Structures are given as structure tokens and as C-alpha cells.
């Protein structure tokens, strides 16, 4: 191996010939070829995926060590210190110490082979370095294919890493964020349980309810979203590792897939298991499609909740303004003092992105899997992890900067109740639907309230009218 171009690069060689690689890079020729071949977006695979690939390589290395494969009688067996160096290098990837060594564009070879070899090369060179060798030497005593990739194919380890990354991010990021949101809304619902307000259906006046009931309904939406997130985790717990190239398991030990899955479950706390059928697990990404379908449902819920909170906070003089939203920033470059519901708008935007992402996942799952391999995996990886990241980070921001600081405008809530024409609904059992309907029309024409007209017309005795038009009584079923 020689220096070239004023030592800005070094020359590495693969089966296709020489390649100029950045002089100090841990990656090698195959990575550099991919960098040059795919100058598409400037988007690299998410860091969560890189670290998941490190986890997979570490689990594979442990399995091969324990099965005696790395130190066996095959080509270039490793010594104990070399095996340890390789596992330590894998751990460096997991720990984020080599994050800058993964430059390949998302829109690359559809199997993810370029990124798999990127990881293999980085671990190989780092392992050689840890073992005290020269990582720039032409011969790799800890080889990216023979050792780091032992018993593996991109076709089973890359989708395994996608599942690991998604399962870990869902468990450690999204579910806690949603739980925080649900808890916050439930606290508000409890605190606001005695505040009467008017209901709205079709954006029109309806019968009264309590503000706590309305917010409690939103809290339940988020609780159900948590269950969907848990199901999304379940969708990715089966791991393809052990299927190698086409699902047959060629060139790997029969126990390999199970051992790797057990190791990954132990390391992450996510209940990963070996795939029931490796031909299905290698070839299709149906589990990922289902996983993202739940993310789309969660995004739909969050969009709806944010939009309803935005409406409830509209005003402050000419809207509903039943909830005062926290002021986060000036809202207009021309209207002084204007403040907008920016956190609601942010949530509606990032959830729209997730909903759109689902189309990419759907098309990739349906059209990308021919015979024994899906060739849309890098974009499925990036899209899924982007959606999880947006939902997690965005929900945390919404809770911190909006939901937790919302305040109820009690006077505004209660002022609408008496004005509502739908107050006549509770008179149905006393005077019938037709008469109550006429009362509502007369009240609208005259500008009077339902109560005022009832008193004028002496439709009911005062005590019975007070009971019938008691707003709190209207918020619950009556025997």
C-alpha cells in the first residue's frame, strides 16, 4: 500500500482494482467505490442504523467465537487477542466512537451491501489497530469478509440491523415520549374535570361536556398510540440473521441465527428472536411495512390532537380561546404582538411527513421484494428511522413547550355554555324533540338563551327547569 496525491489519500485494492481512499479513513475500497457511485442526496444512513449494525456484528462475532468458528481450522483462524480486538472494534461502532466513518448515501445498492461492507471494513481496520497491527497494511489479519462477516450475508444481516434499530428506537425513544404525553394530558384532564364547556360537532355548537373529559379523550388517543407502538416493536422482533444469501443458511452454523438473536435480545432488552422461516425473513419486509403502518396511525392521532388543541387555543379575542397556549415566539413580521400556536403547527408538519413516509414504505415493501431479496432496504431503513425520530423528538418538544404549560380559561369555557342552542337537547324528555327544536330556532332568531325562553313561556316549573338545564348534569348519563 502506498501514499499518493500528497498523502491526502492512500491506495486500497479490492477485486476490481485500486481505489484512492482518504488517508486516515478506517473504511476501505468498497466503501469508497460506493461514495463515488452514489452522489445522490448527501444523506447517510441514520446513526441508529450504524450502531445497530455494530450490535449485529458484535453479536455475530460472539456467536462465532462461542461456536469455535473464528479460532477454528478454516482460512486464517484468529488468536484470542485478535478475536477480542474484533469484538472491541464492534463495540466502538456501537458506542458511536466511529460515527464519522460511514459516508455512503442512503440511495445505494438496494440490499445495503455497500453499507454492510463499510461496517466490515471499519471494524476490520479498527480491530487490526487495537491488536497492535498496521491498519494500512495490504493484508488484513482480521479480515472484513472472512472474520467480521463470517457466517453472514448482507441479505440477512442488513435487514436484521434495520429490525434492531427500529426495535431499539421504538422502545427507548418513541414509547417513552408517548407515555410522557399521555401522562401530561391525563394530569390536565384531572385538574380540569370540573370546568364546564360547550361541545362541538361538525365545528358547530353541541351539548356541554367538561374540559377534563375532552382532554381525557385526547389522553386516551395517546394511550392507544402507545399500544400501537408496542405492536410496531412486535412486528420487527423476528430477525433474518442466519439465513445468509437466500435463506438457506449456506456457510453458517445451524445454531448461529438463534445465538445471535439471543445475544441481541440480551444486549438491547428488546425480545428479538430468530425468524420462524428464513426464506420469508430474507426475502420480504412485510414486518417493516406493518411496523410503519402503526407509525402512520400514531402520526394520524398526533396530527388530530395537535389540531384540536390549536383550535381550542385560537383567539385570543376572536376565537375559542378555551385553552391558553404558551407563548413561544413572536408570530408575525408585520402584526405586532401576534402569537401563533407554533408547537401545534410543528407537530402537524412532522406527522404529515410520517404519513407521507408510509407511502415510500408501502411501495418498497410491495414492489421491492422479488424472489429471495428486497432491493429497497436502505430507503426503508432511512424512512422508518426518520419517522421514529420525528415522532419521538417532536412529541417530546410538544409536551415540554406546549402541553405541559397549557392553561384552562375557565371563564371563557363557561361563558359559551349558556349561549348554546343545543342546551335544548336536555329538554327532549320533558317537552319532546319537535317542541325543543322550535325553541332552538326561536332562541336563535330572538338572540335569547334557551333558559330565557323557557322562563318566558313557563314551559317547566322552575325547579324542574333548573334540573333540566343544569350543565354539569348534562355531562354524564342520567338514569
Q: Are 339 and 422 in contact (CB under 8 A)?
A: no
In terms of Cα–Cα distance, which of 28, 134, 120, 124 is closest to 83?
124
Is 387 marked active-site? no
* Alpha-carbon radius of gyration of the chain: 31
Residue among 41, 248, 327, 332 flagged as catalytic: 332
Q: What is the DSSP letter of 427?
A: G
Q: List Cβ<8 Å contacts ≥24 apart for 343-346.
A: 343/306, 343/397, 343/398, 343/401, 343/402, 344/306, 344/307, 344/309, 344/310, 344/313, 344/398, 344/402, 345/306, 345/310, 346/394, 346/397, 346/398
Does 292 participate in catalysis according to the annotation? no
Cβ neighbours of residue 180 closer than 8 Å, sequence gap 6 or more: 395, 396, 399
| Residues sharing a CB contact under 8 Å with residue 330, sequence separation 6 or more, in sequence order | 338, 339
Query: Which residue, 95, 93, 140, is CA-closest to 119?
Result: 93
- Interatomic CA distance for residues 383 and 213, integer angstroms: 36
User: 358: which 3 cell numbers?
Assistant: 408510509
Strands 204-210 and 196-201: antiparallel
Return the C-alpha cell found at 233: 416493536
Produce one character per residue of 332-347: b if its CB has 16 or more CB atoms within 10 Å, e if not: eeeeeeebbbbbbebb
**Active site amino acids:** 202, 332
Amino acid at each position: 500500500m502506498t501514499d499518493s496525491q500528497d498523502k491526502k489519500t492512500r491506495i486500497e485494492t479490492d477485486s476490481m482494482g485500486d481505489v484512492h481512499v482518504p488517508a486516515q479513513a478506517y473504511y476501505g475500497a468498497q466503501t469508497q467505490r460506493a461514495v463515488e457511485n452514489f452522489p445522490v442526496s448527501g444523506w447517510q444512513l441514520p446513526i441508529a442504523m450504524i450502531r445497530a449494525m455494530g450490535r449485529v456484528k458484535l453479536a455475530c462475532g460472539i456467536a462465532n467465537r462461542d461456536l469455535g468458528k473464528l479460532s477454528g481450522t478454516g482460512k486464517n483462524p484468529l488468536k484470542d487477542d485478535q478475536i477480542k480486538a474484533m469484538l472491541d472494534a464492534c463495540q466502538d461502532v456501537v458506542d458511536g466512537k466511529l460515527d464519522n466513518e460511514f459516508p455512503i448515501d442512503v440511495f445505494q445498492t438496494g440490499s445495503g451491501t455497500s453499507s454492510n461492507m463499510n461496517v466490515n471494513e471499519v471494524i476490520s481496520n479498527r480491530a487490526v489497530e487495537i491488536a497492535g497491527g498496521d491498519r494500512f497494511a495490504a493484508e488484513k489479519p482480521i479480515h472484513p469478509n472472512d472474520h467480521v462477516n463470517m457466517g453472514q450475508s448482507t441479505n440477512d444481516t442488513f435487514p436484521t440491523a434495520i429490525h434492531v434499530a427500529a426495535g431499539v428506537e421504538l422502545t427507548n425513544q418513541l414509547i417513552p415520549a408517548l407515555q410522557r404525553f399521555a401522562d401530561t394530558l391525563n394530569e390536565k384532564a384531572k385538574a380540569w374535570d370540573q370546568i364546564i364547556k360547550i361541545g362541538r360537532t361538525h365545528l358547530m355548537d353541541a351539548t356541554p361536556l367538561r374540559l377534563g373529559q375532552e382532554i381525557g379523550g385526547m389522553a386516551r388517543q395517546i394511550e392507544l398510540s402507545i399500544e400501537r407502538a408496542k405492536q410496531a416493536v412486535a412486528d420487527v422482533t423476528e430477525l433474518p440473521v442466519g439465513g445468509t444469501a437466500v435463506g438457506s443458511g449456506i456457510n453458517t452454523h445451524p445454531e448461529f441465527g438463534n445465538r445471535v438473536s439471543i445475544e441481541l435480545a440480551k444486549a438491547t432488552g428488546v425480545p428479538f428472536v430468530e425468524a420462524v422461516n428464513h426464506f420469508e425473513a430474507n426475502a420480504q419486509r412485510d414486518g417493516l411495512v406493518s411496523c410503519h403502518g402503526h407509525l402512520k396511525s400514531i402520526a394520524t392521532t398526533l396530527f388530530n390532537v395537535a389540531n384540536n388543541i390549536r383550535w381550542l387555543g385560537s383567539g385570543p379575542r376572536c376565537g375559542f380561546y378555551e385553552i391558553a397556549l404558551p407563548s413561544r415566539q413572536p408570530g408575525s413580521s408585520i402584526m405586532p404582538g401576534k402569537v401563533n400556536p407554533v408547537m401545534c403547527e410543528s407537530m402537524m408538519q412532522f406527522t404529515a411527513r410520517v404519513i407521507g413516509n408510509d407511502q415510500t414504505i408501502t411501495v418498497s415493501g410491495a414492489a421491492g421484494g422479488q424472489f429471495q431479496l428486497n432491493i429497497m432496504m436502505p430507503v426503508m431503513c432511512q424512512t422508518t428511522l426518520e419517522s421514529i425520530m420525528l415522532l419521538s423528538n417532536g412529541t417530546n418538544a410538544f409536551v415540554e413547550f406546549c402541553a405541559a404549560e397549557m392553561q384552562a380559561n375557565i371563564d371563557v369555557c363557561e361563558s359559551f355554555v349558556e349561549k348554546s342552542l343545543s342546551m335544548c337537547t336536555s329538554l327532549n324528555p320533558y317537552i319532546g324533540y319537535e317542541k325543543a327544536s322550535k325553541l332552538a330556532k326561536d332562541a336563535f332568531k330572538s338572540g335569547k338563551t334557551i333558559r330565557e325562553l323557557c322562563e318566558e313561556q313557563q314551559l317547566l316549573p322552575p325547579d324542574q327547569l333548573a334540573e333540566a338545564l343544569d350543565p354539569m348534569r348534562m355531562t354524564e348519563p342520567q338514569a
